[in-house]
Amino acid sequence: AQKVTQAQTEISVVEKEDVTLDCVYETRDTTYYLFWYKQPPSGELVFLIRRNSFDEQNEISGRYSWNFQKSTSSFNFTITASQVVDSAVYFCALSDLMEYGNKLVFGAGTILRVKS
Amino acid sequence: GAVVSQHPSWVICKSGTSVKIECRSLDFQATTMFWYRQFPKQSLMLMATSNEGSKATYEQGVEKDKFLINHASLTLSTLTVTSAHPEDSSFYICSARPPQELLYEQYFGPGTRLTVT
């Protein structure tokens, strides 16, 4: 069973549009961590954010924002006013102790294409 | 800080040969390193966890005799793909965890693209 679900395989938007990437996770542990990574065409993973299960505050970093809702086991990522440089594959990941021994479990990824 | 390097960044080898990929933590000591494989247009899949000075722990379905992992020092782990075949062509990514960090932290290398002809 998939523990991190990124239902959107690919999203295409026009520059300056807002876009939200969905992430739904599954864990029985009460302590866990959620991550978002960006993988541009070069292949190198770029860390974007880490959030622990006890901190449900939404976070904003420039054009990026994250909405963490434990009630729906979701950790969605929004890019405001998208730019061509945002084109990449975005991965949501989960790490917990009980089920995964603090290993990172990645979702399938969402390809974001931003057109000018 | 927290820089992880991989060498080589890309490699082409002939079927049947072995190839070694190095993963180094440049500015910290890593008691634990992870090796991932990523096929085109797919996600990262954990292959194995290596702890310095001990044998690696392989994920289910990963052939330990084919993918040899050595974590001989706190800054270096190597992955050797033995008797490589075209189906081993993939993007291999390592990550490293510093001992003083909480257990969830990993720093990723830039990846190594392996092509087996």
User: DSSP of B32-100, one letter per residue?
Assistant: EEEEEEE-TTS--EEEEEEETTS--EEPTT--TTTEEEEEEETTEEEEEE-S--GGG-EEEEEEEE-TT
Q: Which of A14-18, A42-46, B38-42 has the highest mean pLDDT?
A: A14-18
Cβ of B43 within 8 Å of Cβ of A103? The answer is no
Q: In this structure, are residues B101 and B116 in contact, taking their beta carbons and an 8 Å threshold? A: no
Spatial strand order in the sheet of B19-25: B4-7, B19-25, B76-81, B67-73
Secondary structure of residue A98 in the 3-state scheme = coil
More confident residue, A44 or B98: A44
Cβ of A104 within 8 Å of Cβ of B106? The answer is yes
Res A58 pLDDT > 90: no
Amino acid at A43: G
Q: In this structure, are residues B95 and B38 in contact, taking their beta carbons and an 8 Å threshold? A: no
Tokens of B95: 């990550």
Q: Which residues, in sequence order, are CB contacts of A84 under 8 Å at separation 6+?
A: A15, A114, A115, A116
List chain A residues with CB under 8 Å of B42. Answer: 108-109
- What mean pLDDT value characterizes chain B? 92
Calculate mean pLDDT across residues B57-65.
94
A33: closest CA of chain B, how far (Å): 7
Query: What per-residue confidence (pLDDT) applies to A66?
Result: 96
Cβ of A109 within 8 Å of Cβ of B113? The answer is no
- The CA dihedral of A41, A109, B102, A28, to the nearest 10 degrees, is 180
Calculate mean pLDDT across residues B33-37.
96
Query: What per-residue confidence (pLDDT) applies to B115?
Result: 97
Res A100 pLDDT > 70: no
Quick count: other Cβ atoms within 10 Å of Cβ A98? Answer: 12
Res A113 pLDDT > 90: yes
Query: What per-residue confidence (pLDDT) applies to B100?
Result: 66
Q: Measure the CA–CA gap between B1 and B26, rounded to whole angstroms.
A: 8
- For CA atoms A29, A77, B2, B30, give the dihedral sign: positive
Q: In this structure, are residues A82 and A20 in contact, taking their beta carbons and an 8 Å threshold? A: no
Calculate mean pLDDT across residues B37-50.
94
Cβ of A91 within 8 Å of Cβ of B44? The answer is yes
Query: What per-residue confidence (pLDDT) applies to B95?
Result: 95
Res A99 pLDDT > 80: no
